[in-house]
Amino acid sequence: MTNGKMENLLDLALSATEEERQKSLNLNVGYSSVSNTWEVIVKHTADGLEQIMVLGESAGEPFMQQIRIVPLNQSYAILTLPQALVEPVSKLTNIIYMEKPKRLFFAVNAAKRASCITQVQSPQTGSGDIGVEGTLNLTGKGVLVAVIDSGIDYAHPDFTYPDNTTRILELWDQTLDAGRLNDTRTEVNGNITYEPPEPYGRGVLFTKDMLNQALSQKNERDRQKVVPSRDISGHGTHVAGIAAGLGRASMGRYRGVAYESELLVVKLGSSGEEGFPKTTELMTAVDFCIREAERLRKPLAINLSFGNNYGSHSGSSLIETFLNDMSNHHQCSIVVGTGNEGAGNKHYTGRMSSGETKEVELSVSSFEARLNVQMWKRYQDDIRLEIFLPNGKSTGVLLGQGTLRADFDALRLLVYYGEPSPYSIYQEIYIDFIPRENYVPSGLWKFKLTAGRILEGTYDFWLPSGGTLNDSTGFPYPSETRTLTIPSTADRVISVGAYDSRTDSAAPFSGRGFTAWTNQAKPDLAAPGVDIMSASPGGGYVARSGTSMAAPFVTGSAALLMQYGIVDGRDVFLYGEKLKAYLLRGVRELPAFDVYPNPQVGWGVLCVAGSLPG
């Protein structure tokens, strides 16, 4: 029997063998083979965390020592549990639901002008075409901008003042080990002690004073002895430059949107065995930034430029409901890019009627070591699945609930028929390809769908996103719609697609809406995301494209509106859903589209001047 309070993928992971988990792309995420523990996300009610501690004490001291609880706002928590206690904890009366972590993948002058930002950054008098009386000089001053990404080049001139002091209030590097750094301190560190932020207990928190001490050093090597945090990919530095860069290294030419805001930076990542960021790191990062904004009593705009394909894409997972809850917590707005799957081959959608049969083809390239497919449908629709290998062999019609295994010479197919959850009415059929040796058999696979009684009939297939598969592995006839990555599908976040501001055309790569089944208009809006020049590690600039570059335009713009409303005292409630409404009121329509909202650019493209109250 499946566990109704546990996510389907976690239920499958616990029932899978160790070999199956090791050869899977998803099943081992969150598991530590060293300690035989799982990291999980829970939603709980009052006394839920106390119940866990009581259960741990009754299980004995060895188990109790392995339990770790990180409480988050809004009754969420990240738990580390011995494998033997995962299911018992999920069944506690005050634990509402439990999920496992998922991988996360990072999705880059004229653009500012097209977004009507330059009009509000310079002082202007009179109502003009902005509809605001008085003088405007919106720079993000008094607002916090949080960049949760791959880190930042904290020594880049765009993130320091002319006196070479930092604009960054705090930098939390989740990838570093505080104990290891304390053991290797050198004379240049002085009395610095490295600590993780409370209550999260991982990574290293670098304060403004520590960053200033690093910046006072004579060279890069000595700076790294004080604050040994780097942005290896340059993604986070680029994003931060768009949202809030000062433009000092370009004499103002590549100045960002909210260039006088202060920065909170989280280098997202895992120092564990997996070596990639997970949704649990994201949740703690968001929680940390909001707690700091509350402590500092400042409004906060958060930028998230990454996502994944795992889930129903209807906004119902715990990571999505968490971001919904946090979007209206404190004076906060959360901005998320819609991903770069719009022109990809990792999604297929179709619709069936009662008694109909359809085939969905999947091309698998050579040397594909790991592969999984999700099929999502409405639970009340009777759709039966049969899988054909490239050599023509078949699993037969797969029936039943829970875990099914189909064994062949070259691989094992691990198929899990899920059930609805307290948060979702949809059914997942999860298929994991477990090769006997090194690779999944290449060629054309077929999924045969046979419909019984159908009430609605829509179905979706998703492959993993983020470059985890070879480019040629995908659906030969992919669907461009419903290609939003999670968590841009969350209801209350501001979801941002990308467009080319030079041609006023939608970017083909930009993840498209609407949300699956709920048909919510996403993206909310689009912003420039093609060939955007911004800060690069080492003090220079580079051009990048992606919804990762579009999102920080909106994050910086949110900071400008917060300055206008909250900091300058015109409207202390200008955050969350109200701020989103103001942004959507001001959007500009593109000539290529007659209908709004539409799946490519939502309600239109960013125009900050039009979003200010008239």
Could you write out the DSSP letters of every residue in 503-539? Answer: TTEE-TTS-----TTT----SSEEEE-SSEEEEETTT
Q: Would strands 262-267 and 306-307 be described as parallel, antiparallel, or unpaired?
A: unpaired
pLDDT of residue 115: 83
- In the three-class reduction of DSSP (H, G, I as helix; E, B as strand; rest coil), residue 459 is classed as strand
Q: Within this chain, do residues 184 and 260 fall inside the same structural domain, yes or no?
A: yes
Amino acid at 294: E
CB 227 within 8 A of CB 211: yes
Q: Within this chain, do residues 319 and 382 fall inside the same structural domain, yes or no?
A: no
**And the tokens for 513?**
């809406």
Q: Within this chain, do residues 449 and 510 fall inside the same structural domain, yes or no?
A: no
Q: Within this chain, do residues 414 and 545 fall inside the same structural domain, yes or no?
A: no
Enclosing H/E stretch for 411:
strand 411-417
CB 274 within 8 A of CB 29: yes
Q: Within this chain, do residues 75 and 149 fall inside the same structural domain, yes or no?
A: no
Task: Quote the mean pLDDT of the chain.
Answer: 92
Average pLDDT over every residue of 124-142: 58
Q: Within this chain, do residues 119 and 186 fall inside the same structural domain, yes or no?
A: yes
Q: Which of 394, 428, 462 is the last residue of a domain?
A: 462
Closest CA to 306 of 326, 332, 335: 335
Amino acid at 577: E
Q: Within this chain, do residues 220 and 137 fall inside the same structural domain, yes or no?
A: yes
For residue 164, report the phi and psi dihedrals to the nearest 5 degrees.
65, 30
Q: Within this chain, do residues 444 and 533 fall inside the same structural domain, yes or no?
A: no
pLDDT band at 108 (very low <50, low <70, confident <90, very high): very low
Q: Within this chain, do residues 337 and 428 fall inside the same structural domain, yes or no?
A: no
Cα Rg, the chain, nearest whole Å: 24
pLDDT one-digit tens code per residue, 298-325: 999 999 988 899 988 998 899 999 999 9
Closest CA to 277 of 506, 526, 29, 588: 29
Other beta carbons within 10 Å of 9: 24
pLDDT of residue 122: 61
CB 233 within 8 A of CB 466: no
From residue 173, give the alpha-carbon distance in Å to each of 149, 227, 343, 595.
Answer: 10, 10, 33, 44
CB 511 within 8 A of CB 485: yes
CB 474 within 8 A of CB 363: yes
pLDDT one-digit tens code per residue, 40-56: 999 999 899 999 999 99
Whole-angstrom distance, CA of residue 142 vs CA of residue 405: 57
Q: Which of 99, 117, 135 is the last residue of a domain?
A: 99
Average pLDDT over every residue of 130-147: 77
pLDDT of residue 341: 93
> What's the whole-model pTM score?
0.93
Enclosing H/E stretch for 223:
helix 220-226
Other beta carbons within 10 Å of 46: 9
Give the domain extent around 237: 106-341+486-611
Amino acid at 21: R
Residue 514 burial (10 A CB sphere; 0-12, 13-18, 19+) = buried
Query: How many domains are there within the chain?
Result: 3
Which CATH number fits the domain that encloses residue 60?
3.30.70.2980
Residue with tokens 């993206």: 523
Whole-angstrom distance, CA of residue 304 vs CA of residue 236: 10
Q: Within this chain, do residues 284 and 373 fall inside the same structural domain, yes or no?
A: no
Which CATH number fits the domain that encloses residue 576?
3.40.50.200
Give domain status of residue 469, yes or no.
Answer: no
Q: Within this chain, do residues 491 and 356 fall inside the same structural domain, yes or no?
A: no
Give domain status of residue 467, yes or no.
Answer: no
Please list the residues that pair with 350 across neighbouring strands: 459
- Residue 66 C-alpha from the chain's centroid: 28
pLDDT one-digit tens code per residue, 456-511: 999 999 999 877 899 999 999 999 999 999 999 999 999 999 999 999 999 999 99
Give domain status of residue 80, yes or no.
Answer: yes
From residue 429, give the alpha-carbon distance in Å to each of 9, 14, 393, 585.
Answer: 10, 17, 20, 40
Other beta carbons within 10 Å of 557: 34
Residue with tokens 């564990």: 272
Average pLDDT over every residue of 583-589: 97
Average pLDDT over every residue of 70-79: 95
Give domain status of residue 23, yes or no.
Answer: no
- Residue 595 C-alpha from the chain's centroid: 29
pLDDT one-digit tens code per residue, 347-369: 999 999 999 999 999 999 999 99
Whole-angstrom distance, CA of residue 376 vs CA of residue 389: 21
pLDDT of residue 212: 97
Q: Which of 49, 68, 99 is the last residue of a domain?
A: 99
Give domain status of residue 270, yes or no.
Answer: yes
- In the three-class reduction of DSSP (H, G, I as helix; E, B as strand; rest coil), residue 255 is classed as coil
Amino acid at 477: Y
Q: Would strands 262-267 and 168-173 be described as parallel, antiparallel, or unpaired?
A: parallel
Whole-angstrom distance, CA of residue 377 vs CA of residue 379: 6
Give domain status of residue 593, yes or no.
Answer: yes
From residue 516, give the alpha-carbon distance in Å to each of 9, 51, 138, 313, 485.
Answer: 19, 36, 37, 5, 11
Give domain status of residue 21, yes or no.
Answer: no
Q: Within this chain, do residues 169 and 299 fall inside the same structural domain, yes or no?
A: yes
Whole-angstrom distance, CA of residue 189 vs CA of residue 331: 36
From residue 414, give the alpha-carbon distance in Å to each of 369, 389, 390, 404, 468.
Answer: 15, 14, 17, 6, 19
Q: Would strands 168-173 and 68-72 be described as parallel, antiparallel, or unpaired?
A: unpaired
Query: Using omega within 30 degrees of 0 as the cis cutoff, is the peptide bond preceding 487 cis?
Result: yes
Which CATH number fits the domain that encloses residue 396?
2.60.120.1290
**And the tokens for 355?**
């008694």
Give domain status of residue 572, yes or no.
Answer: yes
